[in-house]
Each structure stands twice: as C-alpha cells, then as structure tokens.
Amino acid sequence: MNFVRRVISTLTSLFLFILLLLVCDKKLTNKATWKRSNKQEFVEDYSDSIVVTKFMAPVLPLDAFEENLTDDVNNGYVIKQSAHENDNDTRLISRAANDTENTQPDQKTCNPKRNVVFLRTHKTGSSTLQAILYRYGELNNLTFALPEIGSNLGAPKLFHPRFVRANSKNKRYNMLVGHARYDKWAFSVTMPPDTVYVTILREPGDQFQSLYKYYNWFNRFGVSLPEFLINPFLYYNKLERDSAIESALNPNLFDLGLERKYLNDRHKISQHINKIENNFNLVMIMEYFEESLILLKDLLCWDLEAVTFLVKNARSMEGRPLNDEDLDRIKLWNAGDDLLYHHFNVTLWQKLNQYDRRQLNEEINTLRERNEHLKEDCVKGSKSKTNGISASRVRSYTIKETKAKNDTCILLALSNDAFQIRAAKRQFGKHK
C-alpha cells in the first residue's frame, strides 16, 4: 500500500513539474512573439529591390516605386515589397529603427571631440566638409594623418598605417580627412579609440553624372553617359579595373572598403552596409547637407561657427540633363549604392526626428545667414578652373583685398591642397 502511495505521489509531482514547464514555455514564447511584433525592423533586400524609407521623411527617389508602395501605419515606414516574398536570400536588418537615443547632446555639459575620421567619397560634397575639418584642426592645433605624397592615403588599395607620413611627435593622430578606402583594423591602429567616424553619401543618379564628367569617362569609355548606360558591363569590363583609383560600379561602396570582386554581390553588399552602420557614428547625406552638419556639430559638441562653409570643388552644370530612363539605368547599374543611400537616408531622418523641429529649422537658418554673411564679408569673387585630372570645372574663391590678413576669411576660402600644405608645415616644419 505504501508502495502504491509513493508511486502515485511521484507521478503527481512529475505531472505538476511538466505542467509548470509548459506554462513557462508558453509565457516565454508569447513574450518573444510580442517583442518580435513590436520591434521596428528596417529590411532591405538587394536582389529583390525591397526599398524601405522613413514615412513622411523626404527620401529620394520614390517616384519610380509609387505603384508598389504600401503604408505601414504601425511602424511609420513606406515599403516596396517584391514579388519574391519567399526568397531566402540574406536580408539586411537595420538597427537604426530601434535607436531611440537622442542625438542632440547637452551643450552645457559635453566637451568638444577632436579625434575624427572623415571617410571621403567622391563628388558628394566631401571637399566642403574636408575644408570644415581642416579649418577646425588648424584653429585648434590638431594633428592630421597626412599622406607621404599627393593627397590620397593609398587608394585604390585599402588604407594601411604605412600610407601615413610618420609623425615623430605623436604615435596617434587627431584627424584623418584625406581620400582613403575604409579598413576597420587599419583605422583603429592609426587613430585613438574615441575617434568619431563620419562619411557622406549622395543620390546615385546625380552622383554618377558628376563622376562621369569629373573623371572624364567619356574619353576612357569612348561613349557618352547615355550610351554607356545601355550596356555598362560592356565598357566596364574593358577597364584595367585594379589599376583605376576609382570605380565605375557602386563607387561609394568601393570607397567604403568593399572589394571590387564583391561590388555586384548582393549578399556581400548587404553585409557591408551592416558593417558601415556598426562602425560609423554618422553617415551624412549631401541632399540634406545643412541638416547633416547640425547633426555633426552636435555629435562633436562644436559650436555653429565651426561648421560654417563655402562650397568647394563644385562641378559646373554643363551638358544636357539626363532623361528619366537614363536616371533609372544609373540606379539599376549602381543598385548597391542606391541601396546604401536609401538605408542611410532613413537613419539620417531618424536622428533628425529626435530634434525639436522648430529648433532645428532655427539652427539651419542661422547657419545659412552666417554663411551668407561670411561670403559677403570675405569673398571678392569665385571662378571655375579645369581640374588637373579631368575635364571638370571646380570653384575657387578670391578674398577681398581688405580681408587679405583676416584669418577667418583666409581659412574660409583656402583650398584643401593649401590646407594640407599648411598642416604639413605645422607638423614637420616643411612640406615634402
């Protein structure tokens, strides 16, 4: 009898234990499901052209996708979904949609950050931003990582510390703003651990037109841009690709460190975009340059005066504009850069949406007023001249005779090559 009671007691305990496990498992499953359903995810698929853009944010371009757009009221995104809904290709998940951190620091408590890497991309307004950083570095006696010769830090090779001119006074540098292709390890051993990483992108349709003219690809390929776009691989494969300092395919991804052999690989492109998001503090957008500068100013805890500017190295608007079909072909050819641009346009507006809209507009207007005042006060005129490497025209400035000794005006109008020479003289005593 006692044996039967013990068996019943044991079975009862086992039953209760199993029941408890089932209840706990159900709760955990429900909790996980709730988290997944409430987690704002931003998904883009390179192969199927899934494009996700911030709802109500001015993202470019959307017109070509209007017929496929659907509003997702719950998470505030506009989504273009391809027909291949069951595709198992790798999808890019952006952390930006879950980033609720306010990007606007308390100006009363933060300290200015002086260690900055600006990863330059081509024909994206990067010369203007480089000039801002050069000026800040000179005014604050900061140390620049300078090339041994020329203005490139090893391109088209990935950046390596050996490309930096040795500085006997400092093992590390405050700023690296020259043209260099991104390599995480190389930058981390060259720059301090607290370095802020920044880059800038431009809408691929406009950028590629500018690149085609700037690099004089008409002579290299032997055809106009519209002709090139009819069959771009035909001309691209004729290049000695590894010898070129630039890429005619997805140039931004190339500048940001993606190897040439992966520039048409959807999986590698998605992985690389994720890598960029993880490793860069701010990706600016040229079409919203002033808004991006406000973000940069606050990220670095600088004052507004530090980011005033004159446009540098601007391309003259010459030649006939492309039609919509050609613009679509550019974005199809540079689909990786198009994906990259849309992704970081979203992250930019998520950061900007953390701001009080009125305050942001006031800061932008103040920046414009100060830029206009400095231009009126300092600049005698501007002119275009032929750039040494291409048939493009770039803008330069002459300052008024009455401001010839005014440091503010001199630094504002100074070319980036001149900034580099001054930095070399300051750091080494002479320019090599």
DSSP 354: T
- Distance of CA 284 to CAs 70, 198, 287, 367, Å? 27, 7, 9, 17
User: 186 in a domain, yes or no?
Assistant: yes
Structure confidence at residue 67 (pLDDT): 32
- Which tokens sit at 400? 């008024």
Within a domain: 93: no
Q: Cβ(59)–Cβ(53) under 8 Å?
A: yes
| pTM exceeds 0.85 for this model | no
For residues 293 and 348, what is the distance between their CA atoms, to the nearest angstrom? 11
What is the reported pLDDT for 395? 65
- Cα–Cα dist 144/158, whole Å: 19
Q: In 3D, which of 141, 132, 143, 130 has the Cα closest to residue 173?
A: 143
How far is residue 291's CA from residue 289's CA, in Å, rounded to a whole number?
5
Distance CA 82, CA 397 (A): 49
d(CA 132, CA 282): 16
| pLDDT at residue number 277 | 97
Residue 79 CA to residue 45 CA, distance in Å, equals 11
Residue 81 lies in a domain: no
pLDDT at 312: 76
Does residue 394 lie within any of the structural domains? no
Q: CATH number for the domain including 309?
A: 3.40.50.300
Tally of domains within the chain: 1
Q: Which two tokens stand for residue 117?
A: 């890497």
**Residue-range definition of the domain harbouring residue 242:** 116-355+415-428
Instruction: Tell whether 283 is covered by a domain.
Output: yes
**What are the residue ranges in the chain where pLDDT is below 50?**
23-24, 26-103, 242, 388, 431-432
The per-residue pLDDT for 94 is 36
> What integer pLDDT is reported at residue 13 of this predicted model?
64
Does 77 fall in a domain? no
Tell me, yes or no, whether 226 lies in a domain.
Answer: yes
Distance CA 293, CA 402 (A): 30
Select from 361, 200, 354 the least CA-distant residue to 284. 200
User: Quick one: tokens of 167?
Assistant: 């500085």
**Would you say residue 198 lies in a domain?**
yes
246: phi then psi, degrees, rounded to nearest 5: -125, 175
d(CA 343, CA 34) in angstroms, rounded, equals 26
pLDDT at 22: 56
Rounded Cα–Cα distance for residues 209 and 204 (Å): 9
Q: Distance between CA 160 and CA 89 in Å, rounded?
A: 33
